[in-house]
């Protein structure tokens, strides 16, 4: 009599770690594509994939062959269709880790209080500018890029490369300024560029009052390791976008906290 080979079912700590890591990766992937058009594309691919197995089972040769071609190039299709999501995922895995490390070193050498004081001096002109933009109902989009990807930003931007100041931010977004259309990008503690045309998010579940400015603010945080402040021209409300998610109508105290953490 044959005995059942139980070695196949042996669960080792490595197997558990493996399963946990795969679950974590699937969860991260789900977070990245949740609410985007990518979910529909993924569903479409799953339907075609299932169809392939059904027609193969039914021995429908012509359809099996046609769907088989599709199955063979599925990896290429995934890379092309999901390039934004893959880019975001890789950025998430790689760059944030090194940034956290830099912050930790700074705090280790100079102490937490000094680090926070230093940060407040950096973010104060931005908060002051937002206050004034809100008051005058001037639309604005300010992006904080953790890494200034020259190729990504410079193609569609005017180079500024100036010290961050309230008055400069106000002047850029003045309706009569030639640079007011588009976004300002702040990186490496400088206003690096203005008038940037950014990728729009393809999210379908956004509030109806969100137009192109909000879509661009969210879109840039999906494609890059960046956060964005959006000041609505219509309502003066301030929104904050990070990793494709947006917090609406935030207070200045909240904005300060968020910038302190992210900038």
Stretch that binds ligand ATP, among 77-85, 104-112, 123-131, 232-240 (CB under 6 A): 232-240
Residue 197 binding ligand ATP, by CB under 6 A:
yes
Q: Which of 146, 192, 203, 213 binds ligand ATP (CB under 6 A)?
A: 213
Residue 221 binding ligand ATP, by CB under 6 A:
no
127 is written with which tokens?
Answer: 């908060």
Q: Among all residues, whose Cβ is closest to ligand ATP?
A: 211
Q: Which of 216, 218, 238, 241 binds ligand ATP (CB under 6 A)?
A: 216
Residue 211 binding ligand ATP, by CB under 6 A:
yes
Q: Which of 36, 164, 232, 258 binds ligand ATP (CB under 6 A)?
A: 232
Residue 183 binding ligand ATP, by CB under 6 A:
yes
Stretch that binds ligand ATP, among 26-34, 59-67, 161-169, 226-234 (CB under 6 A): 226-234
Residue 152 binding ligand ATP, by CB under 6 A:
no
Q: Which of 150, 188, 234, 254 binds ligand ATP (CB under 6 A)?
A: 234
Residue 212 binding ligand ATP, by CB under 6 A:
yes
**Site residues (CB under 6 A) for ligand ATP, limited to 162-181:** 181
196 is written with which tokens?
Answer: 């940037």
- When the beta carbons of 203 and 214 are compared against ligand ATP, the nearer one is 214
- When the beta carbons of 129 and 141 are compared against ligand ATP, the nearer one is 141
How many other CB atoms are found less than 10 A from the CB of residue 246?
A: 21
Q: Which of 144, 152, 153, 210 binds ligand ATP (CB under 6 A)?
A: 210
Going 44 to 211 to 88 to 244, the CA torsion angle's sign is negative
Min separation Cβ 220 and ligand ATP, Å:
8
Are residues 184 and 172 in contact, defined by beta-carbon separation less than 8 angstroms?
yes
Residue 229 binding ligand ATP, by CB under 6 A:
no
Q: Which of 64, 160, 182, 203 binds ligand ATP (CB under 6 A)?
A: 182
Residue 141 binding ligand ATP, by CB under 6 A:
yes
**DSSP state string for the chain:** -PPP-GGGGPPPHHHHHHHHHHHHHHHHHHHHHTTSTHHHHHHHHHHHHHHHHHHHHTT-HHHHHHHHHHHHTHHHHHHHHTHHHHHHHHHHHHHHHHHHHHHHHHHHHH-HHHHHHHHHHHHHHHHHHHHHHHHTT--EEEEEESS--HHHHHTTSEEEEEE--HHHHHHHHSTTSTT-SSEEEEETTEEEEEEE--PPP--S-S-TT--HHHHHHHHHHHHSSEEEEEE-TTT--EEEEETTEEE-S--HHHHHHHHHHH-
Nearest to 162 by CA among 139, 140, 193: 193
By the criterion CB under 6 A, which residues form the site for ligand ATP? 139, 141, 181-183, 197-198, 200, 210-214, 216, 232-234
């Amino acid at each position: 009599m044959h005995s059942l080979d139980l070695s196949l079912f042996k669960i080792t700590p490595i197997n558990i770690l493996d399963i946990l890591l795969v679950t974590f990766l699937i969860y991260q992937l789900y977070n990245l594509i949740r609410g985007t058009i990518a979910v529909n594309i993924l569903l479409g691919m799953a339907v075609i994939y299932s169809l392939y197995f059904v027609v193969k089972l039914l021995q429908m040769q012509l359809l099996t062959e046609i769907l088989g071609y599709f199955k063979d190039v599925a990896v290429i299709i995934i890379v092309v269709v999901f390039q934004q999501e893959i880019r975001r995922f890789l950025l998430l895995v790689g760059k944030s880790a090194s940034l956290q490390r830099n912050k930790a070193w700074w705090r280790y050498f100079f102490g937490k209080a000094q680090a926070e004081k230093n940060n407040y001096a950096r973010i104060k002109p931005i908060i002051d500018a937002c206050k004034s933009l809100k008051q005058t109902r001037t639309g604005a989009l300010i992006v904080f890029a953790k890494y200034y990807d020259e190729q990504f930003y410079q193609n569609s931007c005017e180079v500024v490369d100036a010290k961050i100041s309230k008055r400069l931010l106000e002047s850029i977004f003045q309706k009569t300024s030639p640079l007011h259309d588009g976004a300002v990008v702040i990186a490496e503690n400088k206003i690096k560029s203005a008038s940037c045309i950014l990728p729009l998010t393809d999210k379908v579940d956004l509030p109806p009052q969100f137009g192109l400015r909000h879509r661009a603010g969210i879109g840039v945080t999906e494609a890059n390791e960046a956060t964005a402040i959006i000041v609505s021209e219509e309502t003066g409300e301030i929104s904050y976008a990070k990793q494709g998610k947006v917090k609406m109508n935030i207070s200045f105290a909240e904005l300060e906290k968020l910038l302190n953490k992210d900038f």
